[in-house]
Amino acid sequence: MRSIKNSFPSEEDHNLLREADAKHLLHPWADLSTLGEQNTLMIQNAKGVYVYDSTGKKYLDAIGGMWCVTLGYGHEELIEAMAEQAKTMAYYTPFGDVSSSPSAQLAQMLAELTPGDLNRAHFTTCGSTAVDSAVRTAHYYYACQGRASKRHVLSRRNAYHGSTYLAASLCGKLADRTLFQYESDFIHHLSSPEYDPDIAEESADSRLQSLLDEMESEIARLGAENVACFIAEPILASGGVLVPPPGYQAATREICRKHDILYISDEVVTGFGRLGHFFASETHFGIVPDMIISAKGITSGYQPLGVVMISDRICETMSAHAPVDKSVFSNGYTYSGHPIACATAIKNIEIMKRDKICEHVQEVGPYFIDKLRSLVDSPIVYTVRGDHLMACVECWTGNETGPTARNMALAQRVDEYCEQNGLLVRPYENLCIMSPPLIVEKSDIDRIISIFSQALNRAQSDLDSGRLD
Ligand SMILES: Cc1ncc(COP(=O)(O)O)c(C=O)c1O
């Protein structure tokens, strides 16, 4: 196939691209039952909060790429930073005692942004590899103190932590478990901790107490001396923007401290401005974890990069106790902290500070949530939940709640009508998930709400007139 470079290909080229895609690509999270069908949406071009498909159709991207395009598309300064670093030094090994100036500078900047003594950055290539690295660090930390049996990991149902073997095993969404293999020997899932006051049948306090009791009893069952770490997204993102009851993060942090269990906060989504702060753990939830994981918005999605920010306490302990013959921290990747990715992240942080992006999110975030909440008046909306610029609308046909076949078909229909009218939301089961770029303006939000509510009305009339099935 000849190379097709123009932003909007001719119809002939467009068809060739779709054919190549259908024949030769296995997409992440592809539906194998439709493998080979030419039904992909081919995004070809993007600017600001808009993306364009290969026919030139324009969409407001309420997904922000995949929670990650925070500064919007086509940002000249990010593009220049990438090009500049590529010209200066595209790549050199990060292993052992070799480094590059972007990774050293970025590590320092991150240490200043993270709470407490989380002063050391271990770069990876994405969120999943950062999750892997954090859990492996917890294992090393205890093993080097002669406590290798302290290796069990607590996660939660509905959690999403990525798709390497270890990260996928930490995920707790049962529907995502297919025919792959998952580690179950040392990974344990606590209940999904969501609490939605609009639909809850119990008080937030009693829900919180039962979650904490369950955590305590699971630790007692395993023996605290066998539990290495607890990994938690402050708000469960891909599980459906599930917000725990108030005080949950602080109370689980305290349980971990009491039992000498490391607390890993997975801020792949909640970090880098989505909740109005560089990191939400301390500023939004009042906790200082032992490790924080970040990826996605760290480069505004312009480059793949992940990082585990690790506490001085952990690093100093590992350094002091590592046996001479096993003192290599044998974790890392060829592209860990790739110089171009780090240079992009540095520029991203500079722009976020200069343009007061977190302050902007603090202003538009509540506006977004308020406007979305007005949609609960629709009979096909079961509930709306979220925080700042991460939100989710849960659809239902008015009978059973949850991801039933009909509820999923209904959400799918809403999603199709949004797409037809130039709005991309992320369909997941019976949910429509939204995480727009952080530069979104109130006028963009009004447009999202307007297109979304038209889509709800059309889907509802399909339901009422029996045209859903
Ligand atoms: C909370 C969380 N952790 C980890 C990951 C994995 O990140 P990646 O897809 O970059 O490997 C994701 C991805 O969506 C995520 O939402």
CATH number for the domain harbouring residue 89 = 3.40.640.10
**Cα–Cα distance between 284 and 317 in angstroms, integer?**
29
Look-up of token digits 């939204």: 434
Query: Do 254 and 380 belong to one domain?
Result: no
- Asked, for residue 440, whether it belongs to a domain, the answer is yes
CA angle, 337 then 341 then 344, to 5° = 135
Q: Is the pLDDT of residue 190 over 80?
A: yes
Query: Do 105 and 69 belong to one domain?
Result: no
Strands 291-294 and 58-61: unpaired
Q: What atom of ligand 1 comes closest to residue 296's alpha carbon?
A: 10
- Asked, for residue 2, whether it belongs to a domain, the answer is no
Q: Determine whether 252 is exposed, middle or buried from the number of CB atoms within 10 Å of its CB (0-12, 13-18, 19+).
A: buried
Q: What is the pLDDT of residue 6?
A: 60
**Cα–Cα distance between 449 and 460 in angstroms, integer?**
16
**Cα–Cα distance between 390 and 71 in angstroms, integer?**
15
Residues facing 187 on adjacent strands: 153
Q: What atom of ligand 1 comes closest to residue 131's alpha carbon?
A: 4
Nearest CA to ligand 1 atom 4: 161
CA angle, 39 then 43 then 48, to 5° = 150
Q: Is the pLDDT of residue 5 over 70?
A: no
Query: Do 288 and 207 belong to one domain?
Result: yes
Number of separate helices (H) and strands (E) present in the chain: 14, 15
Q: Is the pLDDT of residue 1 over 90?
A: no
**Cα–Cα distance between 427 and 408 in angstroms, integer?**
9
Query: Contacts from 446-450 at CB under 8 Å and sequence distance 24+?
Result: 446/371, 447/60, 447/423, 448/60, 448/62, 448/368, 448/423, 449/371, 449/372, 449/374, 449/375
Query: Do 62 and 104 belong to one domain?
Result: no
**Cα–Cα distance between 90 and 70 in angstroms, integer?**
24
Q: Give residue 10's pLDDT band: very low, low, confident or very high (50, 70, 90).
A: confident
**Which of residues 354, 370, 401 is at a domain's end?**
354
**128 C-alpha to ligand 1 centroid (Å):** 6
Q: Is the pLDDT of residue 87 over 70?
A: yes
**Which of residues 301, 320, 354 is at a domain's end?**
354
Query: Do 50 and 83 belong to one domain?
Result: no
State residue 79 phi and psi, 5-degree precision. -65, -45
Model confidence pLDDT, tens digit, residues 97-116? 999 999 999 999 999 999 99
State residue 354 phi and psi, 5-degree precision. -60, -45
- Asked, for residue 343, whether it belongs to a domain, the answer is yes
User: Residue 454: which CATH number?
Assistant: 3.90.1150.10
CB within 6 Å of ligand 1 — which residues? 126-128, 131, 160-162, 233, 237-238, 266, 268-269, 295
Q: What atom of ligand 1 comes closest to residue 164's alpha carbon?
A: 11
Model confidence pLDDT, tens digit, residues 295-352? 999 999 999 999 999 999 999 999 999 999 999 999 999 999 999 999 999 999 999 9
Residue 243 per-residue DSSP state: P
- Asked, for residue 298, whether it belongs to a domain, the answer is yes
* Residue type for position 395: C
Q: What is the pLDDT of residue 466?
A: 93
Q: What is the pLDDT of residue 13?
A: 84
Query: Do 49 and 122 belong to one domain?
Result: no
**127 C-alpha to ligand 1 centroid (Å):** 5
**74 C-alpha to ligand 1 centroid (Å):** 23
| 8 A C-beta contact, residue 168 and residue 132 | no
In 93-203, which residue ranges form alpha helices assigned H by DSSP? 101-113, 127-143, 165-170
Q: Give residue 469's pLDDT band: very low, low, confident or very high (50, 70, 90).
A: confident
Query: Do 135 and 256 belong to one domain?
Result: yes
* Range 73-78 average pLDDT: 98
**Which of residues 300, 324, 354 is at a domain's end?**
354
Model confidence pLDDT, tens digit, residues 238-247? 999 999 999 9
Nearest CA to ligand 1 atom 3: 161
* Residue type for position 419: E
Tally the domains of the chain.
2
DSSP assignment of 146-165 equals: T-TT--EEEEETT----SSH
**330 C-alpha to ligand 1 centroid (Å):** 22
Q: What atom of ligand 1 comes closest to residue 162's alpha carbon?
A: 6
Q: Give residue 164's pLDDT band: very low, low, confident or very high (50, 70, 90).
A: very high
**145 C-alpha to ligand 1 centroid (Å):** 30
CA end-to-end span of the chain, whole Å? 40
Q: What is the pLDDT of residue 8?
A: 75
- Region class of 402: left (phi > 0), else alpha (psi between -120 and 50), else beta: left
Report how far apart, in Å, the C-alpha atoms of 113 and of each of 191, 262, 278, 351, 360 are.
31, 20, 7, 14, 18
Q: What is the pLDDT of residue 40?
A: 86
Q: Report helix, strand or coil for 119.
A: coil
Torsion on CA atoms 229, 235, 237, 241, rounded to nearest 10: 140
**160 C-alpha to ligand 1 centroid (Å):** 7
- Asked, for residue 29, whether it belongs to a domain, the answer is no
- Asked, for residue 27, whether it belongs to a domain, the answer is no
- Give the mutation target among 27, 128, 158 for probing the ligand 1 site: most ligand atoms within 8 A of CB: 128
Q: Give residue 15's pLDDT band: very low, low, confident or very high (50, 70, 90).
A: confident
Report how far apart, in Å, the C-alpha atoms of 342 and of each of 121, 242, 247, 327 are.
12, 31, 34, 27
Query: Do 372 and 454 belong to one domain?
Result: yes
Q: Is the pLDDT of residue 367 over 90?
A: yes
* Range 230-245 average pLDDT: 98
Residues facing 43 on adjacent strands: 53
Query: Do 348 and 414 belong to one domain?
Result: no
Q: What atom of ligand 1 comes closest to residue 270's alpha carbon?
A: 1
Q: Is the pLDDT of residue 3 over 80?
A: no
Q: Give residue 14's pLDDT band: very low, low, confident or very high (50, 70, 90).
A: confident
Query: Do 54 and 199 belong to one domain?
Result: no
**11 C-alpha to ligand 1 centroid (Å):** 35
The per-residue pLDDT of the chain, averaged, comes to: 96
Q: What is the pLDDT of residue 53?
A: 92
- Asked, for residue 125, whether it belongs to a domain, the answer is yes
Query: Do 312 and 421 belong to one domain?
Result: no
Q: Is the pLDDT of residue 75 over 90?
A: yes
Q: What is the pTM of this model?
A: 0.97
Q: Which of 59, 30, 54 is nearest to 415 (CA)?
A: 59
- Asked, for residue 398, whether it belongs to a domain, the answer is yes
Q: What atom of ligand 1 comes closest to residue 129's alpha carbon?
A: 11
Query: Do 274 and 331 belong to one domain?
Result: yes
**389 C-alpha to ligand 1 centroid (Å):** 17
- Give percent above pLDDT 70 in the chain: 99
Q: What is the pLDDT of residue 63?
A: 97
Q: Which domain holds residue 442?
A: 41-74+357-464
